[in-house]
Amino acid sequence: MMQRCEICQTSFTWKQVSKSLWLAYKPIACPACGKLYKVQFLSRILASVLLVGPIFAFSSFAYPISTYALIFSVLVLFPVISLLLPYILRYRLA
């Protein structure tokens, strides 16, 4: 699931990718060979859609929108999606 380095096949760590995500897609260096990877443009779009989409969808279904439903969806969905994103994001050699 987690992306591997194209050069040495070393798997990136969840922590590494997660950190990159929170630092505005900071490039990742392979833990073994040090090759630099940048996030793919499409992954970046996907991440934004995945983070905002479900919250938007949830608040539309929970009509009339209650503040509690919105806060709940943000509190539940946001961490879950953030946990899963490092498995979904793809990087390419910089």
Q: Which residues bind Zn ion (CB under 5 A)?
A: 5, 7-8, 10, 30, 32-33
d(CA 22, CA 20) in angstroms, rounded, equals 6
- Give the nearest distance from C-beta 35 to Zn ion in angstroms: 5
Continuous segment of H or E residues that includes residue 93:
strand 91-93
How many angstroms separate the CA atoms of 65 and 89, rounded? Answer: 31
Residue type, 30: C
Q: What is the closest distance, in whole angstroms, from the C-beta atom of residue 73 to Zn ion in the complex?
A: 38
5 or 28: CB nearest Zn ion: 5
What is the smallest separation between the CB atom of 13 and Zn ion, expressed in angstroms? 12
